[in-house]
Amino acid sequence: MVLESKILTAKEWKGYKSRPFLIAGPCSAESEEQVMATAREVAQIKDISVFRAGIWKPRTRPNSFEGVGTEGLKWLRAVKQETGLMVGIEVANEKHVYEALKYGIDMLWIGARTSVNPFTVQEISDALSGVDVMVLVKNPINPDLELWIGAIERIAKAGITRLGAIHRGFSAYEKSVYRNHPNWQLPIELRRRIPDLPIICDPSHISGARQYLYEISQKALDLNFDGLMIESHIDPERALSDSAQQLTPNDLKELLSRLILRNPVASDPKLLDILGELRQQIDIFDDSLVEILEKRMQVAETIGKYKKENNITILQPTRWDEIIRKVMVNGRSRGLSSELIDTIFKAIHQESINHQMRIMNNGIAESEENS
């Protein structure tokens, strides 16, 4: 997919120092002292390009700290002057954009609660028309890749060339150790759909707790993300928002020093040969998997015909229970995770039901209709 405006790679961004592109700073700007003290220490960490701070805070419940507003923009202007770091804030409407531009903010990000709303994203895009500023679009709260891409396309239409995405995880009803589910397959698919778009990972909002920041950051680097945005506060325990996930600048420095940066592409010809052969094997296995699935569905369709003739329901719960138990035991004994077996076999079972439904309702399978 090609976006309407030419977008720059992360390497071409103003202030790019090295991979990963680093953005750090407090969840919220709280006071001039807190902002300046954090910024002075963050500026000492090698390779940080942008100092972030939320000025208007989207909070789940009212009566929480909702940000200091325009006053904080003056503090960020001072950070820029004193430390030379670029500065970035969240914008959630056109007023925020105009205020940010008035105070020389270098980077704007669209938050997860805003990128869900095409009206608001369009309003922000209109306010950005013809402006040269860096804009990063966070994923919407719900795992909807089309909505995320739609928001990116709207911003690209304004002519923004320093454009990127931020992966901050997705809300889910089920409890998990992370505050927001990473659902890594979404940013991976985003990369496939818009290969040139820089993607930054936000381990802070995925983790929700300091102890997971390192593993999420390392995973993002191993998945070839272009950068990281990590929340850092001079005194995390007393932070007015997201206290549990913020790091002191010192701890941030230590975390960054432990990250391992691997090469995105192999260049050694011997290694390329070995990888090439192994990939051929993978391709052969993938082809076999698809063929086996086709054969399995053909048998399911035959079963469907018998069910139809004998007036039996498609879903046979005892048989399904027997299948899932058997493959779980088999899978586990072969070192496959229960999660994988569960996901794959639920999908296969659903596909079998779909094939049988077509047989029941039309008398012919779609594959026959299409042939």
The residues that touch ligand PEP, with contacts defined as CB under 6 A, are: 27, 54, 58, 90, 111-113, 138, 168, 205
Q: Could you give the CA distance from residue 47 to residue 43 in angstroms, rounded to a whole number? A: 9
Indicate the residue among 165 and 300 with the shorter CB distance to ligand PEP. Answer: 165
Q: Which is nearer to ligand PEP, 177 or 260 (CB)?
A: 177
User: Is 202 a residue that touches Mn ion (CB under 5 A)?
Assistant: no
Q: Which does 365 bind (CB under 5 to 8 A by kind): Mn ion, ligand PEP, none?
A: none
Nearest approach, Cβ of residue 79 and ligand PEP (Å): 17
Supply 67's token pair. 């940000």
329: DSSP letter: H
Shortest spacing between CB 231 and Mn ion, in angstroms = 6
**Closer to Mn ion at the Cβ: 255 or 341?**
255
| Helix, coil or strand: residue 59 | coil
Q: Are 191 and 178 in contact (CB under 8 A)?
A: no
Q: What are the DSSP calls for 81-146, one per residue?
A: HHH--EEEEEE-SHHHHHHHHHTT--EEEE-TTTTT-HHHHHHHHHHHTT---EEEEEPPSS--HH
Chain residue whose CB lies nearest ligand PEP:
111
Interface mask toward Mn ion for 233-262; x: CB under 5 A: ---------x--------------------
C-alpha–C-alpha distance, residues 232 and 222, integer Å: 22
Q: Is 23 a residue that touches Mn ion (CB under 5 A)?
A: no
Closest approach, Cβ 239 to ligand PEP, in A, equals: 11
Least distance to Mn ion, CB of residue 260, Å: 26
Closer CB to ligand PEP, 30 or 90, in the complex: 90
* Binding partner at 168 among Mn ion, ligand PEP, none, C-beta below 5 to 8 Å by kind: ligand PEP
Cis bond leading into 269, ω under 30°?
no
Site for Mn ion, rule CB under 5 A: 27, 242
